[in-house]
């Protein structure tokens, strides 16, 4: 066992069976404020299910999905060790049942044994970021409606908001709302998608440091929650728990827009150095 296998095993197990405190608190708040009876009962059921999963160490969701890993800062130098430990951890957790065998080949749909192989799990490197290993577990419901659109450079913020609202309406209850929406505007097609996804590592309620963007996030949050999609698409006050927007420098002749959804089971976790010790943190 290399030095990262054990902590990655523990981090993935925790990510699969518990919910980050900020997401759990947001669901509790939504339950307290939800006025529609069906939606309120659904939220109560979700919260109760989370408690059971945490106590019994069972997956929060039956779809343990794709695991994406973002290695940044000084951890990059240990990339090969981390990747080896990650693959061993995922394979063993799949065998033990903590993770479900969800990965298949794209055409023949044949199982990828142990959820490892054919470029899975996804690993991304950031040489300049904070010293951390960030992990996210992505179910197919949210992934199927995450999207990239290449807009005309003249597209204004009002039109962008309309496109985001239309995508939420198309997704409806299929992404297991109440969800979290990550949005990236600009960059390249690749950087926009990555940025919209990594935006979901930001805690619920944290706003952009750019005032205009923070106001846009809140405006979109209110607009989406007025759509009455509600929990699991059955109507209600809470369709989303939060909206995150990231702006990236882009080419003069293009305007990428990436939208990434996180379902209510937003499973994310980090490994960071505390002193000289690697620790698991939310």
Condensed to tens digits (0 to 9), the pLDDT of residues 5-58 reads 999 999 999 999 999 999 999 999 999 999 999 999 999 999 999 999 999 999
Inter-residue contact 167 to 259 (CB < 8 Å): yes
d(CA 269, CA 20): 8
Q: Which residues, at least 6 apart from 127, have a Cβ–Cβ distance to it below 8 Å?
A: 72, 73, 76
Mean pLDDT of 131-135: 97
Handedness of CA 202, 78, 66, 49 (dihedral sign): negative
Residue 214 has pLDDT above 80, yes or no: yes
Q: Given strand 147-151, what is the order of strands in its sheet?
A: 147-151, 255-262, 179-186, 240-248
């Amino acid at each position: 066992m290399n030095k990262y296998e054990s902590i990655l095993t523990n981090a993935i197990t925790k990510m699969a069976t518990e919910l980050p405190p900020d997401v759990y608190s947001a669901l509790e708040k939504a339950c307290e404020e939800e006025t529609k009876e069906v939606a309120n009962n659904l939220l109560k059921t979700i919260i109760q299910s989370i408690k059971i999963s945490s106590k019994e160490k069972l997956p929060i969701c039956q779809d343990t999905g794709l695991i994406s890993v973002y290695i940044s800062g000084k951890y990059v130098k240990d990339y090969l060790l981390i990747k080896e430990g990650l693959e061993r951890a995922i394979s063993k957790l799949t065998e033990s049942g903590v993770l479900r065998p969800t990965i298949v080949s794209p055409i023949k749909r044949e199982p990828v044994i142990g959820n490892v192989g054919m470029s899975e799990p996804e690993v991304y490197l950031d040489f300049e970021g904070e010293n951390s290993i960030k992990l996210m577990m992505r179910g197919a419901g949210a992934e199927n409606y995450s999207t990239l659109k290449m807009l005309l450079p003249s597209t204004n913020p009002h039109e962008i908001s309309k496109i985001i609202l239309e995508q939420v309406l198309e997704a409806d209850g299929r992404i297991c709302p109440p969800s979290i929406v990550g949005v990236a505007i600009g960059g390249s097609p690749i950087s926009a998608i990555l940025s919209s996804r990594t935006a979901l590592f930001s805690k619920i309620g944290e706003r952009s440091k750019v005032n205009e963007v923070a106001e846009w996030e809140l405006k979109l949050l209110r607009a989406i929650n007025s759509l009455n999609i509600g929990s699991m698409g059955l109507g209600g006050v809470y369709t989303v728990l939060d909206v995150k927007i990231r702006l990236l420098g882009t080419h003069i002749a293009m305007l990428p827009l990436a939208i990434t959804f996180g379902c209510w089971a937003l499973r994310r976790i980090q490994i960071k150095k505390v002193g000289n010790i690697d620790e698991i943190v939310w």
